[in-house]
Structure 1
Amino acid sequence: MSTRVKKKLMEPVQIGAWKLRTRTAMAPMTRCFADDETGVVGRDVMEYYRKRAADGIGLIITEGIVISPRAKGNPGVPGLYTKEQIESWKPVTEAVHREGGRIIAQIWHVGRASHHELTGGWPPQSASPLRAEGRVPRFRKPFDTPEEMSIDDIREVVGQYAQAAKNALEAGFDGVEIHGAHGYLIDQFNSDVSNRRTDRYGGDLAQRLTFMKEVLNAVIDAVGADRTLIRFSALKIDQPDYMWEEPEAAIRTFIEAFKEAGVRMIHPSTMNFQETIADGKTLHQLVRQFWDGMIVGVGDLDPDTAEQAIEEGIIDVAAFGRPLIANPDFLHRVNQGSPLIEYDPKKHLATLE
């Protein structure tokens, strides 16, 4: 890591309704430390997020929080659909706010990336009855074949997203991020890999984005565009090498859908921020060609790469993932030019520090 002062990274910024102390974010990372039966979080989760807020992280985006029992795809993930769950998040948001931080809930439905033993005996839901390849993370059983969602199912789930957003504000969150990436439910509708429908939710890419737009409209109606962030990607958990056939055209189509839904803030997601995907440009460079609103950038960023990307106007806020798991004092170390502790999955997957 360079010792060059990170002036842009450390400056305050207004993004939507959120006045951030720094242009940094904690990326959402599944930790599975909630009570598996109830989806309730405890004091350890509160302290985990409080430490990152105390370090000066501008925006904390939580781990994925499921919007219903059938949205669940890992053991131990938290929920935001019962009164008990809402109440359990209040000490977390209060602790972050006491430290001067901002925290938003990532609202999540995994769709077909699940197993009936995790969803209360119900089959997973998806755009089409096509099984994902691979096994459920931390559960070690193959993904189940999903049930194709009916129009009534779609209406119900759209409503669950909106209610989860309202519940997030009740729990004290500053807003929400809709998880529309990585091969989960919204992305299953977006992708021709998992969506073979012949109704208005199927067809070409623009038409397949219909479900995503309905979720966006419902959430924005519930909590406002200035409190709604949307994460999207080509990347899929069951197909890590997947990429759109024509990345520039696909990104343009996504951006048009976001503008149509009234979105103001987006979070394009990739595993490698510096990887070029078309015409020598990265995902975020291509996104910036069509989007002049706020962009949260993510993808194995380090402080130097993040500083440069902000300086060049490619992104507005830099999100860091594993370095923040391993280093609760991440920004302190960056400011001091101190070495970062390397992320160790054997240690850090098993603990919540």
Structure 2
Amino acid sequence: MKLLETVKINQWNLQSRVVMAPMTRSFADLETGVIHPDTVAYYAKRAKHGVGMIITEGIAVSPEARGTIGIPGLYTEDQTEAWKEVTAQVHQEGGIIIAQLWHVGRLSHSAITGGLQPVAPSAVQANGLTHRVGLPYEMPKAMSEEDIQKVIQDFTKAAINAQLAGFDGVEIHAAHGYLIDQFQFPWVNFRKDAYGRNKYLFLEEILQAVANSIGAERVIVRFSEHKDDTPLFFWEQPEKEVIEILDVFRRTGIQVIHPSAQTYRKPLAGHELTLHALVRKHWEGVVIGVGELTPEIAEESLAKGEIQLAAFGRLLLSNADLVKRLKEDKSIKDYNPKSDLQHLR
């Protein structure tokens, strides 16, 4: 199987094309954002059994970046130090581990951020409830240009801390309706300045700053059509949107991207192509596929060159040894969220 091949992507030597998708696990201390010791075994076990690349759950770049309780951080020395054991163990098992850097913007509440008002491009309140805690989203503060520069610095500092902690790279979470994505919402971004006139400027400046600090070859970007708080949203001109955002990645030197689809094989609304097929049409670099993939769908997509890496979420929760099972042609266990300590096995 192509899925089980070793492959070199940039400077990363991967023991397979299988990627562990980022999944919120809330493994950190509620107050400090320092990861729980069980996090080490959780990630190391997947690397031990042949996962080529692990992308962590979303890691907050600042206290106000958090969208629920138990979110780990990379903005303090203690948080950075705690991650060192995780990266060391993953490397010992032959794996590559990427820190996903995250800021939820308006999809939060001051009870989660330590009393800080959530921020957004404009003061527009989101519909819905925060993850796990179930608090209604608060009215966010419209970001000043000073606030914007602070967030860019927060992402940059977190990327530098990730490197200090031994991570092989970072993934910038610019998907799913979180802060970076919110600048691209016409119903959230009513700004009259440069960040309103150019909806991709905030993303571009974050990518450029992070690339300048740790190297563009160590940066992955996740983006999506789907928005967590607006499930019925769809791009009116999907091809135009994809072309424009890919141009941002080219300008900033990004080489590996992670288009996030809820269902891999579902075509985009008003278009004959799926998200990944449309991306491949206009992108010459590396693509990570994701969206309820099965090994069979992944293998087919790898074979035709639509993607270079395949990310699995729930399958890797229920099968830490997924790669081994595929190699030995063993059955794959179905995901069961009620299983005892499912998330730590």
TM-score using structure 2 length: 0.97
* AA aligned opposite 2:291: G
Question: In the TM superposition, what are the counterparts of 1:311-326 in structure 2 within 5 Å?
Answer: 311-326=303-318
Structure 1 distance, partners of 2:148, 2:48, is 40
Q: Are 2:314 and 1:334 aligned?
A: no
Q: Which residue of 2 aligns with 1:267?
A: 258
Q: Are 2:231 and 1:237 aligned?
A: no
Is the partner of 2:301 in helix, strand or coil? helix
* AA aligned opposite 2:213: A
Contact 1:325 1:348 in 2 (8 A): no
Q: Which residue of 1 aligns with 2:240?
A: 249
Q: Are 2:77 and 1:86 aligned?
A: no
2:22 to 28, 33, 41: 28
Distance 1:186 1:18, change over 3 A: same
Structure 2 distance, partners of 1:337, 1:14, is 25
Q: Which residue of 1 aligns with 2:144?
A: 150
Identity fraction in percent = 48
Question: In the TM superposition, what are the counterparts of 1:1-353 in structure 2 within 5 Å?
Answer: 7-203=1-197, 207-277=198-268, 278-347=270-339, 351-353=343-345
Q: Which residue of 2 aligns with 1:3?
A: none
Distance 1:122 1:349, change over 3 A: farther
Is the partner of 1:84 in helix, strand or coil? helix
Q: CA deviation at 1:307?
A: 0.5
Contact 1:31 1:349 in 2 (8 A): no
Is the partner of 1:141 in helix, strand or coil? coil
Structure 2 distance, partners of 1:125, 1:9, is 41
Q: CA deviation at 1:351?
A: 4.1
Contact 2:160 2:214 in 1 (8 A): yes
Structure 2 distance, partners of 1:351, 1:47, is 11
Render the CA deviation track for 1:8-50: whole Å, top value 9, x for unaligned: 1111112122111111100000001211111111320000000
Structure 1 distance, partners of 2:334, 2:342, is 15
Contact 2:18 2:323 in 1 (8 A): no
Structure 2 distance, partners of 1:279, 1:40, is 44
Q: CA deviation at 1:245?
A: 0.6
Contact 1:232 1:269 in 2 (8 A): yes
Instruction: Provide the alpha-carbon RMSD of the alignment.
Output: 1.2
Structure 2 distance, partners of 1:140, 1:279, is 35
Contact 1:326 1:348 in 2 (8 A): no
Deviates more, 1:230-239 or 1:9-18: 9-18
Render the CA deviation track for 1:294-326: whole Å, top value 9, x for unaligned: 111110000000000011110000000111011
Q: CA deviation at 1:350?
A: 6.7
Structure 1 distance, partners of 2:42, 2:21, is 14
Contact 2:126 2:139 in 1 (8 A): yes
Structure 2 distance, partners of 1:194, 1:57, is 38
Q: CA deviation at 1:159?
A: 0.5
Is the partner of 2:280 in helix, strand or coil? helix
Structure 2 distance, partners of 1:60, 1:308, is 22
Q: CA deviation at 1:337?
A: 2.2
Contact 2:19 2:52 in 1 (8 A): yes
Distance 1:349 1:246, change over 3 A: farther
Contact 2:110 2:116 in 1 (8 A): yes
Structure 1 distance, partners of 2:329, 2:7, is 23
Is the partner of 1:190 in helix, strand or coil? coil
Contact 1:235 1:270 in 2 (8 A): yes
Structure 2 distance, partners of 1:294, 1:349, is 34
Is the partner of 1:90 in helix, strand or coil? helix
TM-score using structure 1 length: 0.95
Structure 2 distance, partners of 1:24, 1:129, is 40
List alignment gaps of at least 5 residues for structure 2.
none
